[in-house]
Chains A and B, each alone.
Chain A
Amino acid sequence: MLKIENLSVQISNKILLNDISLSFDSDKVVGVLGPNGAGKSTLLKSLAQLIDSKGKLEIDNKNFRDFDLRKRSLCVSYCGSSDEILSEMSAADVLNYSRYGRDEDVALKDRIIDIFDLSELLERSVNVLSGGERQRLNLACSLYQDSKVILWDEPTNYLDPRHVDKLEEIIKNELSHKLMIVVSHDINFLLDISDRIVSLKNSSLFNNQRTAELFEEESLDNLFDKNFLYLKQDSKMVVR
């Protein structure tokens, strides 16, 4: 569904992504892992075309770069740091604007408000929300955009453990029909939700494996240059 060929990003002589080629199927959750500065966020931003990049980007065998901006936003939604939405507008207004250019979908909005526990927050200004509350709104906005591909950069930031569990449920139950690409440093969260894990190191593709394979082969040690402990708890993969 989404195909990347020779994707490179360079900003003022610094190579941020070097010749990445990947392809993703729809209805899959793909985790992206890597040390700091490996190019994870750059990969997501270049997929969302928020930064300039070189190389081929295809969605459903069509050149994604040829899409106009509106069509792009129907295909891909990007959710970065919640600090990006520090507005004095109410949470309800921000949620409404996240579906910019499209008709309101009351049923979807109500469902999203329900699953992200937002009903209490809607009338409050976004800049008085706590970090976790704003992050829930940020993720909700990305879902209300209702695009085919969802890109999340560090979605568990600021979330308490209960809401991280809830987020896992949402990904498994509500978003199983979409392609999700999730960057996170919360390895266990990615092990729980991902079908595949793409690893980046030094701006290049390091590994692209099924999650179970990555766990069995203990590939994280080489990626992070650190010895992890690989545990199975009630058929759940956990690393420490």
Chain B
Amino acid sequence: MKLTGLITCFLLILIAPFLGHDGFLGLDLGQEELFVFNNLRLPRVLLAFLVGGTLSVIGWMFQIVFKNSLATPYTMGISSIAALAMAVSELLLENSMVANKDIVFIIFYLPILILLVIGFKKNIGRDRLLLFGVCLGIFSSSAIVFIQSVLGNESVTKLVRWMMGGLEIVGFSDFKVLLPIIVIGLLTILSLKKELTMISIGEEFAASRGVDLKRSFITLIIVSNILVASIVWFCGPIGFVGLIIPHLTKKVFGQDFSKNASICFFIGATFLVVCDLLSRTISADQIIPVGAITACLGAPVLVYHLLRK
């Protein structure tokens, strides 16, 4: 059963680049179809694969680190800050000021990352860090509403669309930037997979067996923050993947992060590839933001999970 599920996931990923709103491209690609395949479909599916898997693994990691089954990759307020940076960039652009969005984001985000690291170093309770993330979210949402009220319609539409998350890339340039960040980040997280499993059993249990809690937490928080910030910046805050896929993996394959982190990555990757496939095939003339699809599919699953608990 589990194996069948994984094989189905694999087949879905294989077939996804060949599918679009105009149906199956076919294996014998003509010149135009080859262009669509190489520059639109393949980079998009690969991006969905990478982003879906990474968000799922980070979601599971955050659920362990924050001892909270509702933690997600965005729990620490990264997506809110990115959205605020995006809104501020739009505002600056509208007022004819030169604004490099990347720099605006870094200016907004760097102090938060430094604060989080100091928090962990000073052993501030993780429930307080969670609260910090929530406050950051509330502040950013209010600030965005304020900025939206002075932005023009076009910018507001752009902003709202970005906030739903999307994987619309052309060619491999964005993918090439994200790939090394994600590979290095994931390898760092996976190098601490045994420590994370020990921490998931109990922090005293882990610490008394030689796990350096402080070092593990700081490493994981820095690496995951950089990963999530990069993903959010390129794809927007694609929600629910990082919440439901860890729960699904834990339920079906077991709680052992060390054994099942790679399976979690694979299921998350497939989930986002499928959601992306739906987002570009549901409507013939429009691409639905992938974040809307993941939320529509994810919310009922989460509610089911909560009711069962």
Contact = CB atoms under 8 A, between A and B. Distances in A.
A69 B205 contact: no
B208 A89 contact: no
Interface string A88-118: 1110011001101100000000000000000
Main secondary structure of the interface of A (DSSP, over half): mixed
A84 B200 CA distance: 10
Nearest to B203: A84
Contact of A69 (B201, B203, B204, B212): B212
Interface residues of B, number: 20
Interface in A14-55: 48, 50
A84 B208 CA distance: 12
A12 to B, nearest CB: 11
Counting chain B CB atoms within 10 Å of each CB, the highest count among A70, A73, A80, A89 belongs to A89
B256 A89 contact: yes
A85 B210 contact: no
Given A69-B212, A97-B198, A89 B204 contact: no
A141 interface: yes
A78 interface: yes
Contacts of B300: none
Contacts of A72: 210
Interface residues of A, number: 28
A125 to B, nearest CB: 8
A98 B209 contact: yes
A50 B207 contact: yes
Contacts of A90: 254
A194 interface: no
Given A84-B203, A87-B255, A88-B255, A73 B198 contact: no
Interface in A58-86: 69-70, 72-73, 76-80, 84-86
A203 interface: no
Smallest CB-CB A-B distances: 3 pairs: A73-B210, A84-B202, A78-B208
Given A69-B212, A97-B197, A126-B201, 20 more contacts: A48-B208, A69-B210, A73-B210, A76-B208, A77-B209, A85-B202, A86-B202, A87-B201, A87-B202, A88-B250, A89-B200, A89-B255, A89-B256, A97-B209, A100-B194, A100-B198, A100-B206, A100-B209, A100-B210, A125-B255
